[in-house]
Structure 1
C-alpha cells in the first residue's frame, strides 16, 4: 500500500518504526526516458510545503492533547498541512506487522498470529470525533493470518465511526483479502463512501514490486467486484511512478482501470525507503504528472490526482466537491 513506503507506521496509540532490513534484488532495467536529475539526489519539486492554517492547528492540538496517532503525522506525510486544514486524516488499523513483504514498503513483515485489538473500532471512533474530521481514511497492513484477512474488523471500525459521527465520510484503503469476494463485500457493505485497493505499479513490474501473494489482476478483480457489488461506493486505486515503467504501460494501466469502472486514480513518485529496497529508476517531472492526469481525465475517471508528492490519501475528500480542476498537485 502506497502510504507505507519509507515511513514509520502507527497502529492505535502505539508507534513502531519499521526496520526496513529485508534485502532484495532489483531485477529491473532503467527507463531510457529517465529525467536528467541524478538518482540519489532528490529534485527541487519534491520539497514539501510547511503546514499552516487554523484548522490544521486545531486538529494538531487535539491530536497532541489526546495522544492520538495518525499515519499522517507518524509518516511525516508532506501533505499533512493541506489535508488536516480540510478536516481529513488517515488512521492505520490491525497492527503494525504485515504478513506480506512488498519490495517498496518499509513496514515490518511477520506473523501477528491472529492478534487484533478488540477495542480498536471504538478507539477509531473516538479519534475521529475528537479531531473533528470531515473525512477519514482507514488503512492497514495485510493480515493473511486472519481467516477473513481482517475484513470484519475493517467493517466494525467503519460501523463504529458511522455510529458516532454519521456525517463523516469514510474511505477504506484496504488489503485485497486474498481476492475472496465475500470478504470484500464485508467492507464494501459497511457504510463507507470509498473503497480503495492499490494496484501500485504497471503489470510488468508487479512481480518485482509486490509480494507474490498480491497481483495486478487480483487487485483489478477486487476493484471490479467491489464496484459491481455496490455501485454507490466509489472505487479508487493508486500507482507509484519512477520504478521503470514506460508511458505505454502507464496508458495501458489507465485503460485497464477504466474498463472495470474505477472512479478515482492517484499517481505519485516512488521514494526509496532504505538502500535495501527497490531503487528509484527516475524522478518523474511535474509536467509528466500533469500529462498523466489529463490522460486519466480523458478516459472518464471521476478524478485523477497526480503529482510528485501525492500519496494514496492526498486530499481524498475533494472528490465529493466534483471539482477535479482543484486536485492537480502539479499546478
Structure 2
C-alpha cells in the first residue's frame, strides 16, 4: 500500500468511526464533514478539481462505509460524481445517488431505502440510451407521491427538477460493472464486521462454565467464517486493482459472485453462533447481515455474474481456463509495475 492510500484509509476510518459513534446525528451534519474531506470527488482527477484517487482508493472507502454502517450515500455519491465528470458535468451539492433503470429495473434496495428516508438530494438516472440528472429537492423531502417513479425519472417531463440530460454513448454496461464492484466492496466490509461481532460474542458469552469460543464446533464455524471473509476481501481488492489498471470485466464478475457467496455463508454462521440475539433490533448484527443480503441482489445477483464469468471464459476457447486466468493476472501485474516505474 502506498503512502497516499495509507493516509486516506487512516483519515477515512477515523472520520467514519466518529460519525458512526453518534447514531442520532443529523445526516446533513455528517455529510458536511465528508464533503469537507473532498470524498465526493475521490474518483475525479485533480485537473477537474477532484481528489485524484483511483479504484483501489475507492474500494477502501466503500468498504469502510459498510464497516461503520454509515446511513448516508457516500459510496453512491462518489460513483455518481465520477460518472458526471465523464460527462463533463460538475457534481451537484449535497448527497446523491444513481439509478440504472435498464440494468436493474427492480432498483437497488439501499438506494430505495435512502430515497424513502429523504437522504438523497439529487440522482443520476441512466437508461438504455440516455441519462438525466435530477434535483430531488424540487419534489420535497417525502415520498408521498410527489416524487417521480424510476421510469418517470428517465422519460417524464420533470420541469425545473431536470438539471441536465443527454445521450448515453455505449450503453450502461460499464456503469453496471462499477456499481456491482462498489457493492462487492461494501459487502466485504459488512462480512468483516459480522465475523468480528461473532468472534467477540463467542469470546464473551459463557455456556456450561466455558466461553463459547472454547468449543471445537464453534471454533470450526468461526474458522470457516474467517476464510469466507478473507476470500471476499481478496476478490474485491483484486477487482479494484484491475479496475484501476484497465480492463476489469472478468474480475468484477468474479468479485460480485464470490463476495455474494461469502455473504450468504457468513450470514448463516454469524447468526448460528449468536443464537436468537442476532436477530433482535437492539443488537448490531442484523444491520450488517440484512444489508449484505440486500446488496447481493443489487446490480446482478450471483447467478447473473456467474453467467458473465462463463461468457468471458468461453469466448477465449480453446485457451485452457488456467491459461486464461494467469494471463489476466500477469497483465495486471505488468500494468502495475509499469505504473510504479513511470
TM superposition score normalised by structure 1: 0.28
Instruction: Compare the two structures and name the one with the higher strand fraction.
Output: 1
| Higher Rg of the two aligned structures | 2
Instruction: Compare the two structures and name the one with the higher helix fraction.
Output: 2
TM superposition score normalised by structure 2: 0.27
